[in-house]
Amino acid sequence: MTTLFYDGTFEGLLTVIFEIYDRKLSVVRLFKGQQQAGAMFGEKLDVITNEVYATRVLKGLRKKLSPNGVQRLYIAHMAEMDNEENNLVGFIRYVFDSAQNIEDDYGNRYVIRLSEIIRMMRREKHRMEAFVRFQKLKDDTYYASVEPDFNVLPLLIRHFKSRYADQKWMIYDLKRSYGIYYNGHDTQFITLDFATVANPGDVISAYTEDESIYQHLWKSYFHSVNIPMRKNTKLHVRHIPKRYWKHLTEKI
């Protein structure tokens, strides 16, 4: 067995595929990060991301898969789910080793797993679109902090850019320490320095004067429409898991 280490990027994953075929490797295991000293047997190899190699592999994938199939593979990798690299490698190798398109071959475990990851990503994306709560800051930017299970932030751009096209807004992923910022025309990925802030999710010091009024009105509405006699906690948690509550205005 050959143990491979890569930098965690999609280009790095494609470079790994190039190395596997170029070196004619059969049984491999992939890890994210640099090589660590340990008791693993067999050859160990650090794969350095190579854009030329990655481009060649991507070109090959585009010949074997539909545009949607390539996009699904990218989204699955973007999920950044622990210990899923080897399933993605298995999927890509199955693509190249098959004579026909394998996107609908649900008898293959790698195809099934990719579909499961995509399903989880879509579910998390829809929840983020439903549960994001913006707070108006003093510079008229609408700010929201989130902590999604998976790295879905790039998938939210189209929805929020369309919905809030005439406003400046920022959605920040506290778990992954980056965000997306829309200036009214274009979006860009950003990072913020929260070194002097005790709680990055709490930006109350930067609220506009009327933000607290809006929040109070929203909380009042939420409580007024609540009917205690019809309370169903299990159903409520199923629709809005507790991990989202701390970012919901009506729950604070």
For residues 41 and 117, the model is more confident at 117
CA distances 48 to 19, 20, 223, Å, are 10, 13, 55
Strands annotated E in the chain: 2-6, 28-32, 43-46, 135-136, 141-146, 168-173, 178-182, 187-190
Residue type, 58: L
**92-132 pLDDT tens trace:** 999 999 999 999 999 999 999 999 999 999 999 998 898 88
Per the rule left: phi > 0, alpha: psi between -120 and 50, beta: everything else, 171 is beta
pLDDT value, residue 38: 54
* pLDDT over 90 at 205, yes or no: no
Altogether, the residues listed in the chain come to a count of 252
**72-89 pLDDT tens trace:** 999 999 998 888 999 999
Phi, psi of 31 (to 5 degrees): -130, 150
pLDDT value, residue 211: 45
pLDDT-derived band of residue 137, with 50, 70 and 90 as boundaries? confident
Which residue carries 């693509």 as its tokens?
95
The pTM score is 0.74
Residues above pLDDT 70, as percent of the chain: 74
